[in-house]
Chains A and B, each alone.
Chain A
Amino acid sequence: MVIIFEKKPAILACAAVTGPLEKRSVFKSYFDNILEDERFQENTNEKGQMALIQEACQTLLKKADVKNLDIDYFLSGDLINQMTPTNFAARELAVSFIGLFSACATAVSSVIIAGLLTELGASNFAIAGASSHHNATERQFRYPVEYGAQKPATAQWTVTAAGFALVGKYHKGMPYMAAATVGKVIDYGQENPFHMGGAMAPAAYSTITNHLKKRNQKIRDYDVIFTGDLGKIGMKLLKAMLAEDGIKNDELNLLRDAGEEYFGEDVSFQAGASGAGCSASVFFSYVDLQLRTGRYKKVLLVATGALLSPLSYQQGETIPCIAHAVEIIV
C-alpha cells in the first residue's frame, strides 16, 4: 500500500545513541552519543535499554530545540516481549504514546505513522524511531550471552542502539517525506533463525518493487536505496532477485544496507549488524546528515523485519518478514 504525502511532513531533526561496543562501527562518528556502559549503570539489561531510549529522546529534543511538552506523539517499539523498555521510557517521556511492533522494521513504520498524523493535522511534533539492546535480545531470542554456541557465517549481531526522528510540518530546506509504502508480510519458507538476511530479502524486494511501480520510478531516480539489516548475504540475495528482473549493475550499486556496512569488514560480527536499532541508528544519523549536506537529494529508506518468536521457531514454523519504505526528499 503506497501512501503519497501531499503535505510533505518534514524530518526536523534526528538523533542516535548507541552502546559501547558500537564504537567499532564505521558510522561511529555520526552517532550523537556512545555510552560507556551498555546497562547505563542500571542493574538489568532491559532497564539499560529504557535508559538508552530516554537518552536518545533527550538528545533529539535538545538538537531540535523543542520542549518535552511540545511533543504530541511518541511512536516507537523494540524487540523485547511486550516492548517493555519502550513502554517504560514512554512513561518517563509522558507523551501520548502508540507502541508499534514491526521487529527490525519499526524505525520506518513509526516514521510512516508519524507522517500520517502530521498529514492529518493531528500532530505538530512527533518522535518516531526504534531501539534494540544486544544482551536483552540475545537472551530472549537465542542463548544466554555467555553461552559458547558457534554462530554460522550467516548470523548477524543485534546492536545496542536507539535512533529517533522528530517529524513535523513542512519546513523549506528540511528533508521531507514524499511517499511511503507499508509492506505486506512475505514468507518464502525460510526457517533458519541464524540466517535472517535470507528470510528478509524477499520482503525488501516486494516493498521496493511495489513502491517503484506505484510511484512510476526507477532505482536510478534515487541517490540511494538504503535497506535496514539484510546483512552481507541478504543484500546479495536482494540484488540477485532484482537482477533476475533485468536490473543492471549500475542501478544495483545504488543499493546499500545499514547492517552490512555497520561493522565494516570485522569478521567477529559474521554477516553484519541487525536489530531495530541498526536501521534506526544509521538512518537517523548518517543518512540524515547526507540529506542535510546535500550529498543525497532523494533516498528510499527500507527497513526490514523478521516477524518470528523463539516459540514459533521451536514449533517448526517458517520466518515471515516485512519491509516498510519511506521516500525522503530534500
Chain B
Amino acid sequence: MDEQRYQTIEQQISPKTPLALNLLKAFLVGGIICTIGQAVTYFYIIFFDFTEQTAGNPTVATMIFFAMLLTGFGLYRKLGQFAGAGSAVPVTGFGNAVISAAIEHKSEGLVLGVGSNMFKLAGSVILFGVVSAFFVALVKLIFVSIGVASW
C-alpha cells in the first residue's frame, strides 16, 4: 500500500478531536477559574487595604498558590485532561507549567536541575509576552505622536 493511500485511511480511521465539546469544556472551566480569581480580588479589596488598581498582584500570587497546591497533589493534571486550554491559558496554567517542571527536575539538584529547567515550558510565554508588549507599546507611541490616541 502506498503512502498516499495510507494517509487517506489513517485520516478516516483516526478519531477526530471533538472540537465543540472541547470548546465548551474549556470555556466553562476557564470561566470558573476566572470567577474564583475575581472572588479572590474582592476578598483582598474588602478585607485588606487594596484598591481595584492594586489588588492585581496579590490576586495573581494567590491563584498561583492554588495552582501549586493542585499541581503538587496531582490534581491539575486531571483538570488539564478535562479542560485543555481552559486550564492552560489562565495564570494558573502558567503556574502549573513552571511548578510541574520544577518538581520534575528536583532530582538533578537545585541549580542545574530546578534552576535551569523550571522555565522549560513557560520560557516561551515570558519571552514572547515581553517582546509583544514592547511592540504594542511602540505602536501606541507612534499613534500618540501622530495624535490619533492619547496615553
Interface residues, chain A, with chain B CB atoms under 8 Å away? 43-45, 139, 143-154, 188-190, 195, 198, 202, 205, 233, 236-237, 240-241, 244-245
Contacts and interface: CB of A to CB of B under 8 A. Distances in A.
A148 B87 contact: yes
B10 interface: yes
A139 B22 CA distance: 26
B56 interface: no
Interface of B: 1, 3, 5-7, 9-10, 13-15, 17, 22, 71-72, 74, 76-77, 79-85, 87-88, 93, 96-97, 99-101, 103-104, 107, 120-121
A240 B82 CA distance: 31
* A contacts with B: majority SS: loop
A241 B5 CA distance: 10
Contact of B104 (A146, A149, A195): A146
B104 A237 contact: no
Contact of A147 (B10, B13, B84, B97): B97
B42 to A, nearest CB: 26
A230 to B, nearest CB: 12
A147 B9 contact: no
A139 B104 contact: yes
Contacts of B71: 146, 148
A244 B81 CA distance: 36
Given A202-B6, A240-B9, A147 B77 contact: yes
B contact patch SS: helix
Contact of B13 (A43, A144, A188, A233): A233
B104 A144 contact: yes
Nearest to B67: A148
Given A43-B107, A143-B121, A153-B17, A148 B9 contact: no
Given A44-B107, A144-B101, A148-B87, A233 B14 contact: yes
15 contacts: A139-B104, A143-B121, A144-B103, A146-B76, A146-B96, A147-B96, A147-B121, A148-B81, A148-B87, A148-B96, A148-B100, A153-B17, A202-B6, A237-B6, A237-B10
Contacts of B13: 233, 236-237, 240
Contacts of A154: 14-15
Given A150-B81, A152-B17, A195-B14, A244 B76 contact: no
Contacts of B77: 145-148
Nearest to A47: B107
A188 B9 contact: no
A192 to B, nearest CB: 9
Contacts of A198: 10, 14
- CB-based closest 4 A-B pairs: A148-B80, A146-B100, A150-B84, A144-B104
Contact of B6 (A44, A143, A188, A195): A188
Given A145-B77, A189-B3, A190-B10, A150 B83 contact: yes
B20 to A, nearest CB: 15
Contacts of A139: 104
A45 to B, nearest CB: 8
B96 A188 contact: no
Contacts of A147: 77, 80, 96-97, 100-101, 121
Nearest to A138: B104
A44 B9 CA distance: 42
A236 B9 CA distance: 10
Contacts of A233: 13-15
Given A144-B100, A237-B9, A149 B80 contact: yes
A71 B94 CA distance: 51
Nearest to B9: A240
